[in-house]
Amino acid sequence: MGRLAGKRAVIIGAATQDNMAQAVARLFAREGASVLVAGRKQAPLEALAQEIGGHAAVCDLTSRASVFALADAARDAMGGVDIAVNASGWGLLKPLLDVTEEELDAIVALQFTGVHHFLQAFVGAMLKNEPSGGSIIQLSSATTRAVIGNHAAYIGTKAGSEALIRCVANDFGAAGIRANIVSPAFTESPMTKDAFATPGLVDAFLPRYPLGRLNTAADVANACLWLASDEAFVTGENLQPNGGLTLRGNPQEADIATAVGAAMAKLQAS
C-alpha cells in the first residue's frame, strides 16, 4: 500500500511539462493518492491527469474567486482535500532598480497575494474534513536563506509566503492542519532551461553544495511526499532538500561572471 493511500491531493502549478509540480503529482499518484492538478493551461493539465489517473482544473492563483472555485472542484471530484501543494512561481531575475511597477504588481499577485488566496481556500476545505485536518505545502526557495543577487522582488515575495505558512501552522494546528515549506535551490526545470544551457553557470553553483550535486525535481517531490504523509509530525517548518546549499550560500554575481567567463574562454579556445 502506498504512503498516501486514501489521501486526496491538489497540486497547483502543474501546467508545464516536467516541472516540479508535475514531478510531485506523478509521485503522489504512484503512492496511492487521488490527485487533482491545476494551473493556467487546460491541455497539459488534462494530459497529466489522464497519465496519472487523476483530475484537472484550470486555476489562476492571482484570482481569489478562481482559487476558491478550485477548492470547490476538488471537493466535488474527490470528496475533500487532505493535501494541498502550491508549486507555482515566477523566476523574476532582475536588478532592484530595473523592476517595473507592473512587474512588481505581477510577482506580488502570484507569490504573495496568490499564496494568501491558496491558504484561505484550502485551510477552509480542510476544516470541512471529518475530522478536520490535512497537510499544506508551499514551495519556496533556498534564496530566502542564501541570498543571491538581482532577485529582490522574487526573494521578498517568497519570504512573505513563508511567513504566511508559519502563521497558518500556528493558527490551525489544533484543527489538525500542518503547514510547511519546501525550499529547493537551483533546480533543472523548464523555468531554468536557459540558465542551465549557459556555459559555466552550473560550475559556479556546484561547489556550494556539500553533498556534491545540485538538487533535482525528484528530491523536491520526495520532500513533499514526506510532508504530505502521516509520518511527518511537523508543522511551520522550512525543509531544505538542496544538498546543504544554505551552509555555504549561493554564488554571487562576480563568482558567476568568473565561471561563465572561464567556460566561454575554454569554448573559444577549442
pLDDT for the residue numbered 109? 98
Quote the mean pLDDT of the chain.
Answer: 94
What integer is the mean pLDDT of 183-193? 82
Residue 237 confidence (pLDDT) above 80: yes
Percent of the chain at pLDDT exceeding 70: 100
- CA dihedral defined by 262, 263, 266, 270, rounded to 10 degrees? -170
Residue 146 confidence (pLDDT) above 90: yes
The edge-to-edge listing of strands for the beta sheet with 34-39 is 55-58, 34-39, 8-12, 83-86, 134-139, 177-182, 238-239
Q: Which residue has the cell 538542496?
A: 242
pLDDT for the residue numbered 67? 98
Percent of the chain at pLDDT exceeding 90: 83
CA dist 233 and 241 (Å) reads 18
What integer is the mean pLDDT of 7-21? 96
Query: In sequence order, what are the beta bridge partners of 136?
Result: 84, 179
What integer is the mean pLDDT of 87-102? 94
pLDDT for the residue numbered 266? 81
pLDDT for the residue numbered 91? 85
What integer is the mean pLDDT of 220-243? 97
pLDDT for the residue numbered 1? 63
More confident residue, 91 or 102: 102
pLDDT for the residue numbered 95? 93
Residue 14 confidence (pLDDT) above 70: yes
What is the 8-class DSSP label of residue 6?
A: T
pLDDT for the residue numbered 267? 78
Q: What is the pLDDT of residues 21-65, one digit of tens each?
A: 999 999 999 999 999 999 999 999 999 999 999 999 999 999 999
CA dist 248 and 135 (Å) reads 30
Strands in 63-193 per DSSP E: 83-86, 134-139, 177-182
For the chain, the straight-line distance linking the first and the last C-alpha, in angstroms and rounded, comes to 54
